Chains A and B, each alone.
Chain A
Amino acid sequence: MKGSSVTYSVWVWLWGVSLMLAGPMDLSAAEIGVDTAPGRTMAVQATKSYEQWTTSDHSKHAALKQAFTSGAQITEACLSCHSEAETQFHKTIHWTWDAGKNAKGVEMGKGQYSVNNFCISTNKGADKSCFSCHPSWNGERKVVNCLVCHGQKEVKWDEAFEDLNALKDQTDEGSKEIYAEILSQVQTAAQSIGRPTRKNCGTCHFYGGGGDGVKHGDLDSSMAMPNKALDVHMGTDGRNFECVRCHTTIQHQVAGRIYTAPAATERKSLIQDDLAPKITCESCHSATPHKPGHKANDHTDKVACQSCHIPTFARVNPTKMMWDWSQAGKLKDGKPYKEEDELGKDSYLSIKGAMRWEKHVKPEYFWFNGSIQSVTAKDVIDPGLTVAMSHPLGDREDPKSRIFPFKVHRGKQPYDKINKTVVGPLLSTEHGFWTTLNWQDAIQRGQNALGIPYSGQYDFISTTYVMPTTHMVAPRENVVSCTECHTRNGGRLASLAGFYMPGRDRLNILDSIGWLVVIGSLAGVCLHGLGRVFANGRNGKNGGNKGA
């Protein structure tokens, strides 16, 4: 019929107009697959040419064909070509553990006055166990160990060089054979050089805080060979990114550290400016990564990608969520002891106290501008409160702040009752708490090493420490659903107040009045109707509803 087809065309047109006006609600967007969403297209553009290439085979370099008997010799060989590498590296935080001064002029960083609620302090280097992660040889902060990051073979260097020293003057054939074998292993390892792999970075960063998954909930040994479900970027069955794919490096300065300064000051896309460090999600995915019209694109100004795309952390290995130092020092039958939880992790260690481990942990959310404020051993704290050893900076009014997911580690740790400062007890070495189980002595030694006075009186305070959650990005099927935040009670963002969120917030008085009006209307018409039925019966048939 002609008439109806005209009507149909009119409505198709009308629909079209409304959709054009709707813009972000464009229906046709639904037909565009997610794989062609602008964010994914941009990400592929920014990463597709990735192919590791090199013009150098280190096994052919004469400098590396030596019989190395010490780490320093290997480094010397590296520097014979890479003349500036050590100078560059000495300026990086990986070497200095120094993060510069904070607003109060206190030097920050692991090697300085920063403290946390894990192993608390490095005591300016006096706590030797911290050096298990320093990129140097023999636990001494002397010569850079290039192979920690660039070596592609796992070697126990300390043991190897010890054995070489012990065997070098031996004349028997057996010893000579072993000596030659170790020499050859060391040489092969020194020649196996490459860009840092996940394993290289993981050597330290998976074990931060003294064990697998202790510190970071989103970085543990499971990230050495993750599948896509664990990390969509690093998954070996997917994009297979190494850490350095995003943590780009200029003169050994590795991008992406979030601590006193944000990882990236600008949320720029690589497409806009290919000099931007490839460290924010937006660098590759743009600020509107979802298919056109998807509401999630409107969220990127307030909500970090990580908030939805990392639904839980510690998805394979447990992570430590609580560490109560005040329980440390107990003995069983006069000896230190340990207890294990159902996850197979230490729930009690005499040298460390009580600990709680968790898996599949939901993050906690805070406004975050990319910087974290942390307490130093010099700061005066309020022992009556839970002390935020570190806390994200940011505010919902700040256009650079986003709602960001964090692992919040809770602890109890010693402080100076009189000076009201967090103390850094010495833990390792023969005089450390781990050997003596004597707080008084360990604190005194630790404070001496830091050069900070100790009143002689300690007690324990409750603390929190935050770690931004940015790895373990889940595939899109597993992201946080809308209603996990947009819900009346118990949503993920229940603790973030001061703004209106649809589905979560309402003006209670309005809802009460509104429903009263609605119920009142219903009651009114019901009464009126009943009245008519009743009157109809009395007035006789048709009497009550005559007229129109």
Chain B
Amino acid sequence: MEHLVNIYLYTRYERFWHWFQMAVIVVLLVTGLEVHGLYSLFGFERAVWLHNTLGITWLVAFAFFVFWVFTSGEWRQYVPTTRKMFAMIRYYGYGIFKGEPHPVPKRKDAKHNPLQRLVYLSLAAFLLPVQMVSGMLYWGYNSWGTWGLSRLSLNWVAVVHMAGAFAIISFIIVHVYMTTTGHSISAHIKAMISGWESVPSDAAIEDWEKKAKKPEFVLQ
């Protein structure tokens, strides 16, 4: 058995953002599905109010995330790559059952494997913005006239928003399951709480996985 070392992988803000986002998304899903007519939990009126209020709150919080991801340079963690992607696919489809080592171990400057990069980028740059924009439109239904959007159909806004919701539910299922694929069942969850992740000390990290080097012309 290989030797594990602890590295501090997730900063306080990242962890906060992760769990905050989780809580908000869960309540948004629960209230959203109630508004969709699936069940009665909070009561329609309260569900609508919660959904709207949390949606708007989340918009603001997301703006902070965007600010953080660019100012901290963490955006580089989300740059998509195909290198080792097939190794990842092979690992999850085959190697994991054989007990093979993870092909892309985590490092401070390479937190995400190629599949994670792709999924998180799609999430942060596409799915969540689509949800936010369609949600904003849905919420602002009464102002469509003044926004010059009177030709828009609430039906299609609702359909897009609902489709996004299904995609998010699917993501959550797979995402939660993936937390069990660490060196122990709860390792990844513990890491997202404490910030410290155990990784094999002997695992090599390749240059391309690291944060891009700062451009030389930047004065330091």
Contacts and interface: CB of A to CB of B under 8 A. Distances in A.
Interface of A: 14-15, 17-19, 21-22, 25, 27, 295, 298, 301, 481-483, 486-488, 499-500, 502-507, 510-511, 513-515, 517-518, 520-522, 524-525, 528-529, 531-532, 535-536, 539, 542-548
Given A500-B154, A518-B169, A14 B141 contact: no
A544 B170 contact: no
A539 B98 contact: yes
B83 interface: no
Nearest to B153: A500
A21 B59 contact: yes
B219 interface: no
Contact of A14 (B35, B52, B61, B181): B61
Interface string B166-178: 1101100110010
Nearest to B106: A548
B73 interface: no
A482 B99 contact: no
B163 A486 contact: no
10 contacts: A298-B141, A486-B44, A487-B37, A500-B158, A502-B35, A535-B96, A539-B97, A542-B99, A545-B182, A545-B184
A430 B169 CA distance: 77
B197 interface: yes
B104 to A, nearest CB: 9
A25 B37 contact: no
B60 A17 contact: yes
B166 A531 contact: no
Given A18-B56, A18-B57, A25-B53, A522 B173 contact: yes
B162 A506 contact: yes
B96 to A, nearest CB: 6
Contact of B37 (A506, A544, A545): A506
Contacts of B197: 548
B181 A546 contact: no
B60 A14 contact: yes
Interface in B86-122: 92, 96-102, 105-106
A18 B60 contact: yes
Contacts of B106: 548
A481 to B, nearest CB: 8
B128 interface: no
Contacts of B129: none
Contacts of B84: none
B30 interface: no
Contacts of A520: 170
Nearest to A295: B48
Nearest to A491: B37
A178 to B, nearest CB: 66
B159 interface: yes
Nearest to A501: B154
A503 B52 contact: no
B102 A547 contact: yes
6 nearest A-B residue pairs (beta carbon): A514-B166, A547-B102, A543-B99, A525-B177, A535-B97, A500-B155
A503 B98 CA distance: 48
Given A531-B97, A548-B199, A25 B35 contact: no
Contact of A539 (B2, B61, B99, B158): B99
Contact of A546 (B43, B45, B177, B183): B183
Contacts of B36: 502-503, 506
Contact of B99 (A301, A483, A535, A548): A535
Interface residues of B, number: 58
Contacts of B53: 18-19, 22, 25, 27
Given A19-B56, A506-B162, A545-B185, 19 more contacts: A25-B52, A25-B53, A486-B35, A502-B35, A510-B162, A510-B163, A514-B165, A515-B166, A524-B174, A528-B177, A529-B177, A542-B1, A543-B98, A543-B99, A545-B181, A545-B183, A546-B101, A547-B101, A548-B102
B98 A499 contact: no
A87 B149 CA distance: 53
B198 interface: yes
Contacts of B199: 548
Contacts of B1: 542, 546
A418 B181 CA distance: 83
A506 B159 CA distance: 8
A510 B44 CA distance: 22
A545 B154 CA distance: 47
A517 B48 CA distance: 25
A19 to B, nearest CB: 8
Contacts of B182: 545, 548
B187 interface: yes
Interface string B115-140: 00000000000000000000000000
Interface in B1-49: 1-2, 35-37, 40, 43-45, 48-49
A492 B88 CA distance: 54
A19 B99 CA distance: 50
Given A22-B52, A295-B45, A502 B57 contact: no
A422 B1 CA distance: 96
Nearest to A507: B159
A244 B197 CA distance: 77
A483 B40 contact: yes
Q: Output the residue of A19, A25, A544 with the most chain B CB within 10 A.
A: A25
B37 A21 contact: no
A174 to B, nearest CB: 71
Nearest to B199: A548
Given A18-B60, A301-B142, A502-B158, A518 B101 contact: no
A27 B52 CA distance: 11
Contact of B162 (A481, A488, A514, A539): A514
B200 interface: yes
A408 to B, nearest CB: 27
A515 B169 CA distance: 9
A15 B36 CA distance: 26
A27 B50 CA distance: 10
B52 A544 contact: no
Contacts of B200: 547-548
B94 to A, nearest CB: 10
